[in-house]
Amino acid sequence: MGLIMSLSKILPLFLIILFLPLQSKAFFGLTKRFDQKQKIAAARDAYAKGNYQEAIDISKSFLMENQEAPKRRSRRIYIVLGNAYAALNDYDHALLVYNEALEVLPKDIKLNLALANLYYKTELYDKAIEFYNKVLSLDKDNSDALLGLGRAYLQVGFLSKSRQYFKDYLNQKGQKDNSVYYDYALANFLSNNQNIALEYAKKALDIDKNNPDIYFLIAKIYNNLNETEKATENINKALKLSNNRDDILLTSLIWKVYKPSTVKEALQEVKDYQRQNPNSQLAVFIEGMSLLKQGRKQKAIDLFKKIQNQNQDSFIKEVATQIIKNN
């Protein structure tokens, strides 16, 4: 009887000792998961507050200390780390981070998309196209990839593909990125689909009535449609909103040169412009054209020769050379 009593006292203690390592291991695992989640939250919080270097430090610490972390947690921290480097304009490190992450998670859509977006931002459009296509291979209806491909193909001048991807994106249900209307309008303008371009440029304008780029695009569309009054009205709005931005101003002066009623005005305005911008090749060309249109041929040729003698190779120089040959 005494032996049985002794065993009954010893047995619970034995069981506690037996299972203690398992309980400790489980407890340690829970603690580690909690610590990982806290670090991810801290990195995200630092990034959200604009403390990018702090976000980088926390993320790098996480990756060094948690090499066996579940892939979903690694993905979150890689995205924070890559985004933080990109926010500091350290694109080389950002690209390295995303490429390293994809070695671990090659089929992760968010990481592939983040890398594609970064390649686009750094103007590596062929690489951006490669990774946007990879996203579509994983998710054929991914709207971000469709939009990215539309923009990337627009940048490389592959307009038919650009228009198609923009169209696929616009045909999807759900909220749209507002800038797509301008981008699709531009792709159609460059493809000489002026009516479609005008339709979508107006949609862009409905969303943002204070964007000089939209008015400028609409002006160029109307100019191509030979609706000169509407072209002038819209380019004047673009000039006002942009505080006479150079590219808009010089385009306006070129149009004035080709109208007999405004050619003298163009000459005076381009001379005023050159006082502030003496090295503008396009301004010299516009002055030469305005003189040529007024019958002051020799002075115009002298200006075109000035352009011809410049070291800078350009389309303007080619046109000036051709004018000299023809006169």
pLDDT for position 138: 97
Low-confidence ranges of the chain (pLDDT < 50): 1-5, 7, 15-20, 22, 24-30, 70
pLDDT for position 68: 60
Q: What is the 3-state secondary structure (H, E, C) of 93-125?
A: HHHHHHHHHHHHCCCCHHHHHHHHHHHHHCCCH
Residue written as tokens 């933080």? 84
- Report, in this order, helix, strand and coil percent for the chain, each rounded to 5: 80, 0, 20
Q: CB of 129 within 8 A of CB of 165?
A: no
Q: What is the mean pLDDT of the chain?
A: 88
Q: Which residues of 258-291 are buried (b: 16+ CB within 10 A; e: fewer)?
A: eeeebbeebbebbeebeeeeeebbbbbbbbbbbb
pLDDT tens profile 96-133: 999 988 988 899 999 999 999 999 999 999 999 999 99
pLDDT for position 234: 97
pLDDT for position 36: 67
pLDDT for position 312: 78
Q: 28 burial class (0-12, 13-18, 19+ CB within 10 angstroms)?
A: exposed
pLDDT for position 327: 83
pLDDT for position 21: 52
pLDDT for position 27: 43
Domain limits, the chain = 259-327
Distance CA 63, CA 61 (A): 6
Distance CA 277, CA 86 (A): 34
